[in-house]
């Protein structure tokens, strides 16, 4: 897919998208989360780009929601579904569902929705989904205990490219290699020429190392899994509880994940733990061993009477020897025992049999008081323990990384499948929350049975189901607050959801495939001359487009257009617009309180539907919310006059006659 050919994607955005691992896939799958990872691309922009890619694929010119109110209804529809998503990914992904004039797009979305509606949402899956997020690339790692070595400048450059995590060094010969081996736990020589060369330390000759970076730097593989550990564990859990068909062995992946910690270290190895503790505690253990020996020696000295012959004393004084050498001579056995104590303590504290000999050498045979470590031996011991720890860590990392090396793609697919499940479950939950059904697409106009608008300002349980069918042009009349606007909202929501390929909140529905929805909300009060003119122009253009067939089939919903100007003029204007629509295939519903006047002004017979008030009970209207065909419903004033006329003869009866 040529990214730049997507409408709205310019050179800059295309460059940002090409930074992604696989922008084509992200665009093809509508993966909004992946697109939003491109530099400078916000979530909202990512959703627009994904929609644009879908539109291009279906040759969809866009523009379905043709008015601000129609766009509001689309946002509302989207929110109704997205409210049921658990993950942010699903919320964003749902934004790729939009009302489309393209039949193939609607069909594609309907297939997805039909599958989704069959899903059984349950709380356990919901809980597991809470931890799933799209996988991320980890921050780059730096490995300091290993280096690569070569004599060749070209290999040097290739190595730097292939393995930026480690240092690459140029060496002249085996001596250079030996120097490096003193500074690094492991040296990987890249030149064949070094094969068979004997060098002290962990020096490996691996001319193919650059082809298989994971063996040299298992940290690269592990960093990915460590960084995404919790997301992957959640994705594994989702697969288990939802019984999804996994792309890999879940137990093996879970086991491998359990072996690494958040930093990508292998966490479950006893030997590594001991080596680590030994390195960490070495200084403290040596100090304690010294104290043990000195306490013992001090006690022994305190308890002893030292007798010295005069000749000996003289000779010692003549040699300039201090009292300590006298003690050494006299307390040789106690010294030996104290040093033994120190050695035993250190060996015990380190808990590593293979380092016992060296640990013992940390306290020299030569008696001194106080007993002191041999600093040189201790620092060699520290070095050896550190190297052994690093080697052990690396070999374990290599082991786990080998298990995980080929699992990255599967891991990505695992997370994606869990996230996609959330998209489907959001649709499934929306379906259940509103008893929604997938509408039939086709026929003329719109037919809704048992429609309940979730956009109403009453709790959903209190919404009265509405039946309404309209094909062609109709006026919708009724008492104040009877539910006329709510019927328009319900029709608009049904048409919008149907063209998003999603289920609608109704027992059943049929929606004609149309290219545009024009929904004009009621204006607040009379418009000034300028605004009136521009509204008229808007309707003029719409009428002309519908007449010429340019805009394709449309649904037009208009709420009390009469409020734009004085009643006499608006009745004539509405009559003219409706006459024009009547001669086309457009479906149009105009809510009005001027149905009589419009009918009188129109040259064609206009259908009138009415929301009837069944009467007034305690000053409250009792209303059947479903519009009735061919009924010009009585208005609220008419109802009140009728009530007064019922109560007494005379003026009110005369007044009532005016309504006939």
Ligand X SMILES: Nc1ncnc2c1ncn2[C@@H]1O[C@H](COP(=O)(O)OP(=O)(O)OP(=O)(O)O)[C@@H](O)[C@H]1O
What's 40-73 look like in SS3? CCCHHHHHHHHHHHHHHHCCCCCCCECCHHHHHH
Which among 225-233, 273-281, 346-354, 484-492 is the span making contact with ligand X, rule CB under 6 A? 484-492
Dihedrals phi, psi of 531, to nearest 5 degrees: -65, -35
483 appears as a binding residue in the annotation: yes
Whole-angstrom Cα distance, residue 645 to residue 328? Answer: 130
Of 319 and 524, nearer to ligand X (C-beta) is 524
**Min dist. Cβ of residue 244 to ligand X (A):** 39
Whole-angstrom Cα distance, residue 209 to residue 455? Answer: 63
**Min dist. Cβ of residue 478 to ligand X (A):** 5
Nearest alpha carbon to residue 278 among 349, 342, 341: 349
Instruction: Kindly report the length of the chain.
Output: 660
Residue 333 CB: number of other CB atoms within 10 A? 10
Whole-angstrom Cα distance, residue 455 to residue 183? Answer: 70
From candidates 457, 528, 605, 647, binder to ligand X by CB under 6 A: 457
**Min dist. Cβ of residue 469 to ligand X (A):** 16
User: What does R_g of the chain's alpha carbons equal in angstroms?
Assistant: 42
Largest CA distance in the chain: 153
**Min dist. Cβ of residue 467 to ligand X (A):** 11
**Min dist. Cβ of residue 462 to ligand X (A):** 6
**Min dist. Cβ of residue 505 to ligand X (A):** 11
Which among 100-108, 119-127, 450-458, 576-584 is the span making contact with ligand X, rule CB under 6 A? 450-458
Of 457 and 647, nearer to ligand X (C-beta) is 457
From candidates 308, 313, 458, 569, binder to ligand X by CB under 6 A: 458
Q: Is 484 in the site for ligand X (CB under 6 A)?
A: yes
Of 85 and 557, nearer to ligand X (C-beta) is 557
Of 54 and 611, nearer to ligand X (C-beta) is 611
Whole-angstrom Cα distance, residue 70 to residue 68? Answer: 5
Which among 165-173, 310-318, 344-352, 453-461 is the span making contact with ligand X, rule CB under 6 A? 453-461
Helix (H) or strand (E) holding 235: helix 229-242
Site map 551..590 versus ligand X, x via CB under 6 A:
----------------------------------------
Which among 281-289, 292-300, 316-324, 482-490 is the span making contact with ligand X, rule CB under 6 A? 482-490
**Min dist. Cβ of residue 609 to ligand X (A):** 12
Of 34 and 613, nearer to ligand X (C-beta) is 613
Instruction: Write out the DSSP string of 368-382.
Output: -SS----HHHHHHHH
**Residues between 462 and 481 that touch ligand X (CB under 6 A):** 462-464, 466, 478, 480-481
Of 342 and 491, nearer to ligand X (C-beta) is 491
**Residues between 380 and 439 that touch ligand X (CB under 6 A):** none
Contact 116, 425 (CB under 8 A): yes
Whole-angstrom Cα distance, residue 542 to residue 270? Answer: 77
From candidates 368, 437, 485, 508, binder to ligand X by CB under 6 A: 485
From candidates 625, 641, 642, 645, binder to ligand X by CB under 6 A: 625
HSE toward the beta carbon, residue 74, CA cutoff 13 A: 23
484 appears as a binding residue in the annotation: yes
Contact 13, 53 (CB under 8 A): no
Contact 348, 285 (CB under 8 A): no
Of 290 and 624, nearer to ligand X (C-beta) is 624
Give the β-pairing of 554-559 and 587-591: parallel
557 conformational bin, left if phi > 0, alpha if psi -120 to 50, beta if neither: beta
Counting residues that bind ligand X (by CB under 6 A) gives 16
**Residues between 228 and 257 that touch ligand X (CB under 6 A):** none
482 appears as a binding residue in the annotation: yes
Of 60 and 624, nearer to ligand X (C-beta) is 624
- Tell how many helices (H) and how many strands (E) occur in the chain: 27, 15
**Min dist. Cβ of residue 588 to ligand X (A):** 17
**Min dist. Cβ of residue 113 to ligand X (A):** 25
Which among 28-36, 155-163, 456-464, 568-576 is the span making contact with ligand X, rule CB under 6 A? 456-464
From candidates 121, 445, 483, 576, binder to ligand X by CB under 6 A: 483
HSE toward the beta carbon, residue 159, CA cutoff 13 A: 25
**Min dist. Cβ of residue 483 to ligand X (A):** 3
Contact 582, 472 (CB under 8 A): yes
Whole-angstrom Cα distance, residue 133 to residue 31? Answer: 12
Contact 626, 466 (CB under 8 A): yes
Of 27 and 80, nearer to ligand X (C-beta) is 80
Dihedrals phi, psi of 524, to nearest 5 degrees: -85, 95
Site map 303..342 versus ligand X, x via CB under 6 A:
----------------------------------------
- Which tokens is 1 given? 């897919």
- Which tokens is 387 given? 């190297």
Nearest alpha carbon to residue 580 among 616, 613, 547: 547
Residues 6+ apart with CB under 8 A from 350: 278, 281, 282, 285, 356, 359, 385
**Min dist. Cβ of residue 15 to ligand X (A):** 49
**Min dist. Cβ of residue 570 to ligand X (A):** 15
Give the β-pairing of 607-611 and 473-478: parallel
Of 223 and 490, nearer to ligand X (C-beta) is 490
Of 454 and 551, nearer to ligand X (C-beta) is 454
481 appears as a binding residue in the annotation: yes
User: In this structure, what DSSP letter does residue 439 have?
Assistant: P
Of 200 and 457, nearer to ligand X (C-beta) is 457
Strands, sheet with 146-150, edge to edge from the N-terminal-most edge strand: 167-170, 146-150, 186-189, 202-205
Contact 578, 590 (CB under 8 A): yes
**Min dist. Cβ of residue 534 to ligand X (A):** 23
Of 167 and 485, nearer to ligand X (C-beta) is 485
Site map 160..179 versus ligand X, x via CB under 6 A:
--------------------
Of 478 and 505, nearer to ligand X (C-beta) is 478
Which among 220-228, 441-449, 461-469, 570-578 is the span making contact with ligand X, rule CB under 6 A? 461-469
Helical axes 270-303 vs 332-350, angle rounded to 10°: 160
Which among 172-180, 418-426, 427-435, 459-467 is the span making contact with ligand X, rule CB under 6 A? 459-467
Binding-site sequence positions? 478-485
Query: By the criterion CB under 6 A, which residues form the site for ligand X?
Result: 456-458, 462-464, 466, 478, 480-486, 625
Binding-site sequence positions for ATP? 478-485
């Amino acid at each position: 897919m040529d990214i730049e050919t997507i409408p709205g994607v310019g050179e800059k955005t295309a460059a940002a998208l090409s930074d992604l691992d696989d922008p084509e896939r992200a665009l093809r799958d509508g993966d909004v989360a992946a697109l939003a990872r491109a530099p400078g691309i916000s979530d909202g922009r990512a959703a627009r780009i994904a929609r644009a890619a879908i539109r291009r694929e279906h040759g969809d010119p866009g523009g379905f929601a043709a008015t601000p109110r129609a766009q509001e209804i689309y946002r509302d529809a989207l929110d109704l579904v997205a409210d049921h998503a658990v993950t942010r990914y699903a919320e964003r992904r749902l934004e790729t569902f939009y009302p489309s004039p393209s039949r193939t797009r609607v069909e594609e979305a309907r297939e997805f929705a039909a599958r989704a509606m069959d899903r059984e949402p349950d709380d356990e899956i919901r809980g597991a989904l809470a931890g799933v997020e799209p996988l991320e690339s980890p921050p780059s790692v730096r490995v300091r205990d290993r280096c690569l070595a070569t004599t060749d400048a070209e290999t040097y450059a290739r190595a730097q490219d292939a393995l930026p995590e480690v240092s690459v060094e140029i060496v002249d010969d085996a001596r250079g290699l030996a120097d490096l081996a003193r500074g690094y736990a492991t040296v990987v020589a890249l030149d064949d020429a070094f094969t068979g060369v004997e060098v002290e330390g962990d020096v490996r000759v691996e001319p193919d190392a650059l082809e298989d970076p994971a063996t040299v730097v298992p940290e690269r593989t592990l960093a990915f899994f460590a960084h995404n550990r919790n997301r992957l564990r959640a994705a594994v859990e989702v697969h288990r509880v939802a019984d999804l068909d996994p792309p890999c062995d879940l137990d093996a992946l879970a086991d491998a994940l359990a072996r690494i910690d958040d930093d990508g270290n292998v966490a479950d190895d006893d030997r590594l733990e001991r080596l680590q503790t030994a390195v960490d505690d070495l200084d403290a253990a040596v100090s304690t061993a010294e104290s043990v020996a000195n306490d013992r020696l001090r006690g022994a000295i305190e308890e002893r009477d030292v007798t010295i012959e005069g000749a000996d004393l003289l000779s010692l004084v003549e040699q300039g020897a201090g009292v300590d050498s006298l003690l050494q001579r006299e307390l040789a056995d106690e010294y030996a025992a104290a040093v033994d104590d120190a050695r035993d303590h250190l060996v015990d504290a380190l808990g590593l049999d293979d380092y016992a000999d060296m640990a013992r050498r940390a306290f020299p045979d030569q008696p001194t008081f106080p007993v002191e470590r041999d600093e040189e031996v201790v620092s060699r011991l520290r070095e050896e323990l550190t190297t052994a720890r690093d080697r052990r860590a690396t070999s374990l990392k290599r082991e786990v990384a080998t298990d995980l090396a080929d699992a990255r793609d599967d891991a990505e697919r695992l997370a994606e499948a869990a996230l996609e499940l959330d998209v489907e479950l959001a649709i499934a939950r929306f379906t259940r929350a509103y008893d929604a059904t997938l509408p039939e697409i086709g026929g003329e106009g719109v037919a809704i049975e048992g429609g309940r608008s979730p956009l109403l300002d009453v709790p959903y349980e209190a919404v009265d189901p509405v039946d309404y069918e309209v094909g062609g042009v109709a006026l919708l009349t009724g008492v104040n607050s009877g539910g006329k606007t709510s019927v328009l909202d319900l029709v608009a929501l049904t048409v919008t959801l149907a063209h998003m390929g999603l289920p609608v909140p109704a027992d059943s529905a049929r929606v004609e495939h149309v290219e545009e929805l024009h929904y004009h909300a009621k204006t607040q009060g009379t418009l000034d001359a300028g605004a009136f003119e521009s509204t008229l122009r808007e309707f003029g253009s719409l009428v002309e487009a519908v007449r010429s067939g340019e805009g394709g089939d449309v649904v037009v919903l208009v709420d009390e257009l009469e409020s734009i100007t004085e009643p006499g003029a608006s009745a004539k204007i509405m009559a003219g617009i409706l006459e024009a629509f009547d001669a086309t295939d457009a479906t149009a519903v105009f809510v009005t309180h001027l149905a009589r006047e419009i009918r009188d002004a129109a040259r064609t017979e206009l259908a009138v539907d009415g929301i009837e008030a069944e009467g007034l009970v305690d000053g409250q209207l009792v209303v059947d919310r479903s519009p009735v065909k061919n009924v010009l419903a009585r208005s609220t004033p008419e109802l009140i006059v009728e009530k007064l006329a019922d109560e007494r003869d005379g003026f009110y009866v005369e007044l009532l006659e005016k309504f006939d």
